[in-house]
Amino acid sequence: MIRSAVASRTAGTDPNGAGHWRLWLPPLAAYLLSHLIQAVAEYRSGFAYFTVDGRARFDSQLYLEIAEHGYTLVRCGDIGLGHETGPDSWCGTAGWFPLYPALIRVVATLSPFDLPQAALVVTEAATVAMFGLFWWLLLRLPGGGPVTRGALLVALAAMPAATYFHAVFPMSVAVAAALAHVALLHAGRPLAAGLVGAVAAAAYPIGGGIVVIGLVLAGTAPARNARTLLAGALPALGTLGVFATHAVTVGRWDAYFLVQDRYRARGDGSDPGHNLLTLLRDAPPVPYSPDPAPAHQIERWQQVAPAEMAFALALTLLVTAVAVLPVLRRRRPDPLDAGLALYTLAIFVTPLLIGTQISQYRAHLLLAPGLLVLRRLPAVAGCGLALVMLPLSYVMGTMFGPRILF
């Protein structure tokens, strides 16, 4: 009974049910803060945030097309788009992952919402779940004071590209699934964790990077066992599911790669190789819009994009440093923190190696689970991190609109 009472107070509640507000009020406040930052940013940019159209981004229409009509894969020359990459290159919607469109379709079928409205329902439900899971983990993982936990919740709300947590896009679905994977691992349910990891892998191209955490835990004593290994292996089912979906719908299991090759070929043809310094320098994409973007917006993007990349690199290095600090002190590192640090490194490096057809700033949203490692920071450092992120998130939010793609 005593142990139960202590555990309940640690989790923010007591055995009689009082104090449950500590479980739901902080993540709800962070969720609303995230909305507030993006609403003000888009209002200042002339976009109507509180509309479905105001939450659409350039690629959003592709997810809606998949939800409505399924996948397509055609030769670009057959639809008059071969002038950029050659008539034999591949076009179509098969270059996007299927989970988010499938969820949109399910919600639209079971509710009175049309597809764009259903997409926002899916997005916002996943975003609420993301904040709730993140806070649940902060309360239950060892280490971290209340001020640091609160600062990290603000940091999640102020991720630089957090506008995509509220857009017609699968980013919050992928991050929520990744956090659910971590939560289930912490709860000692590796089979369920592996299945949820498959959801992350089917939601976004680099979501499968979540396998790193389970594999690290599977390789560390005393967690080393076959059941834990499942948490590292099962997320691959999500990626295999993407290939199987394309094989059934368009007849090519490699349809994703065929379409993405077209976007890779739209560059200048140069190959930066695997020199990470060169990739870091060249990664921020050139602004693209079907209509000419205002010159001042392009100029601002050329300043903001390198700042976002520098921040993502700094965050990755900070997470890694905090995770390995026990080793420098000749202590055993926390296996989950080690897995999260390796996951963070993988999420940062992989999009660089894939190429600039993967939007780096969107991919950096999947760094969010790595923030959990920073619960071990002093309160001053945690608050400093949040204060740095808030203005960057706001400025990034002013850069996006329904017909602008960066």
Summarised one tens digit per residue, pLDDT across range 291-335 is: 556 666 677 777 888 889 899 999 999 999 999 988 777 778 888
Q: What pLDDT does 43 receive?
A: 84
Which pair of tokens denotes residue 260? Answer: 């993405």
- Give yes or no for residue 251 having a pLDDT over 90: yes
Which has more confidence, 15 or 114? 114
Q: What pLDDT does 274 receive?
A: 53
- Give yes or no for residue 144 having a pLDDT over 90: no
Which has more confidence, 106 or 82? 106
Q: For the stretch 273-294, what's the b/e string if a residue is b when 16 or more beta carbons lie within 10 angstroms of its beta carbon?
A: eeeeeebbebbbbebeeeeebe
Average pLDDT, the chain: 85
**Spatial distance between the Cα atoms of 198 and 211, rounded to a whole number of angstroms:** 9
Question: Sign of torsion, CA 89 69 63 233?
Answer: negative
Share of the chain above pLDDT 90, in %: 56
Lowest mean pLDDT among 148-157, 220-229, 288-297: 288-297
Q: By the 8 A CB rule, do 13 and 136 touch?
A: no
- Segment 16-43 shows an average pLDDT of 85
Q: What pLDDT does 293 receive?
A: 62
- Segment 239-266 shows an average pLDDT of 89
Summarised one tens digit per residue, pLDDT across range 338-384 is: 999 999 999 999 888 876 666 889 999 999 999 999 999 999 999 99
Q: By the 8 A CB rule, do 60 and 118 touch?
A: no
**Spatial distance between the Cα atoms of 90 and 256, rounded to a whole number of angstroms:** 10
Q: What pLDDT does 224 receive?
A: 57
Share of the chain above pLDDT 70, in %: 83
Which has more confidence, 14 or 338? 338
Which has more confidence, 228 or 150? 150
Q: What pLDDT does 179 receive?
A: 97
Lowest mean pLDDT among 160-169, 283-292, 340-349: 283-292
Q: What pLDDT does 327 receive?
A: 73
Q: What pLDDT does 383 receive?
A: 96
Lowest mean pLDDT among 43-57, 118-132, 375-389: 43-57
Angle of helix 171-186 relative to helix 226-233, nearest 10 degrees, comes to: 180
- Segment 40-51 shows an average pLDDT of 84
Cβ atoms within 10 Å of 52's Cβ, excluding its own: 17
User: CA separation (Å) from 399 to 40, 164, 227, 293, 348?
Assistant: 12, 12, 45, 10, 22
For the chain, the first-to-last Cα distance in angstroms comes to 56
- Segment 262-274 shows an average pLDDT of 54
Report residue 146's pLDDT band, with 50, 70 and 90 as the boundaries. Answer: very high
What one-character-per-residue DSSP string does 178-230 give? HHHHHHHHHTT-HHHHHHHHHHHHHHSTTGGGGHHHHHHHHTSTTT-SHHHHH
Q: What pLDDT does 6 receive?
A: 37
**Spatial distance between the Cα atoms of 401 and 55, rounded to a whole number of angstroms:** 8
Nearest residue to 160 (alpha-carbon basis) of 12, 324, 313, 27: 313
- Segment 204-229 shows an average pLDDT of 78
- Give yes or no for residue 286 having a pLDDT over 90: no
- Segment 160-169 shows an average pLDDT of 94
Q: What pLDDT does 21 receive?
A: 76
Q: What pLDDT does 12 receive?
A: 45
Report residue 218's pLDDT band, with 50, 70 and 90 as the boundaries. Answer: confident
Lowest mean pLDDT among 13-17, 111-115, 169-173: 13-17
- Give yes or no for residue 4 having a pLDDT over 50: no
Domain limits, the chain: 25-170+273-279+291-397
